[in-house]
Amino acid sequence: MKYFKNKDELLFYRTPAAFTKHSPLEVLKYAIGANLYMPGTQNNIFKKLIHNDFREIGSITLCLEDSIQEDEVADAENNILKILNDLFFEQSAHPKIAEDLPLIFIRVRNVEQFYKFSKRLDRTHLSILAGFCFPKFDSENGNDYFSIMDELKEKHHEILYGMPILEDRKLMSLETRVQELSMIKEIMLDHKEEILNIRVGGTDFSSVFGLRRSIDYSIYDIHPVADCLTTILNEFLPCDFVISGPVWEYFSNDPDSTEIYGLKKELRLDLENGFFGKTIIHPSQINVVNQEYIVDYHDYTDAKDVLSREGGVSKGNHRMNEAAPHHAWAKKIIARSKVFGVLDENCKIA
């Protein structure tokens, strides 16, 4: 997969590079971008993927959890297995198709369902999969999720990654939040090389209080939820995890709509606060999200400057560059630039 390959290369100072699930983790964890969630029951996913209908999408998640009902799980599992099987044989017959395939993840329903479903997965399926999303991830089920995935990896000799989703009610309570996050962090540090992103459930957090943000407000305006998200960022960002931003629930095919304006506003707040990547629920959100992740030319040149020195201060692009405090920021900018590219100094993407 390669972002923006249909765009004029003259727009870029540095063009995006291709990636697969076999790319180095330090690059791949920034490649998720707009992650499109789709119900596992949706029966046209295979055709959409091979016809490249999801243009510029770098990752998708086939969902076995909240997007379907309990009595649909069996049908959704069968559908997902068929999609993976069909993709394997289509890719074998037409290798060029692999160049446009996004990273594919499955959001399992819970540990019990994941364990049973894992017994149906073979190397054919796993060669297409990049990994799994673990819903309601907490200190009690976290090790179980990774244990099941590790068994699959060992048995079938395939690379697989996990993306834990923090959305449990215990994280919303001030009484249990810090202790629970501390225990979760211990689990994640033990499996750090297997984690691409940590994901957060803004909708689930909001539901604890019976809240739903309106189209005029970002998740950062919903203070009880924003407070929890801030604690998560404080806990995991210093450990060099990538944390994806919560879903924006509004969509529109009109680029000048209030829905798209709100998404852009929240994306910029995501980046300023330390989130990178975003769960999306509609194809109209794909380009809006991914274009926001193209690295600014001045950020790129300042990051290169910071990483070129062992210490001290230098003049950047109308700002001060300090080698020590800006080092971690600069590393993220360079890693991001490899996946999303660097826009030329005098260019804009509409």
223-236 helix and 258-273 helix, angle to the nearest 10 degrees: 40
204 is in an annotated binding site: yes
Asked if pLDDT for residue 187 goes beyond 80, the answer is yes
Tell me the pLDDT tens digit for each residue of 91-116. Answer: 999 888 888 899 999 999 999 999 99
Mean pLDDT over residues 3-24, rounded? Answer: 92
Rounded to the nearest angstrom, the gap between the alpha carbon of residue 222 and the centroid of all alpha carbons in its chain is 22
Tell me the pLDDT tens digit for each residue of 237-266. Answer: 999 999 999 999 999 999 999 999 999 999
Domains of the chain plus CATH, in order, are: 32-293 (3.20.20.60)
Cα→Cα distances 307→17, 176, 239, 345, Å:
21, 39, 19, 20
Tell me the pLDDT tens digit for each residue of 58-74. Answer: 999 999 998 999 999 99
| Distance of alpha carbon 52 from alpha carbon 15, whole angstroms | 21
Say what the pLDDT of residue 32 is.
96
pLDDT band (50, 70, 90) for residue 350:
low
Rounded to the nearest angstrom, the gap between the alpha carbon of residue 20 and the centroid of all alpha carbons in its chain is 14
Backbone angles phi, psi at 24, to 5 degrees: -60, 140
199 contacts 165 by C-beta, under 8 angstroms: yes
Maximum Cα–Cα distance across the chain: 62
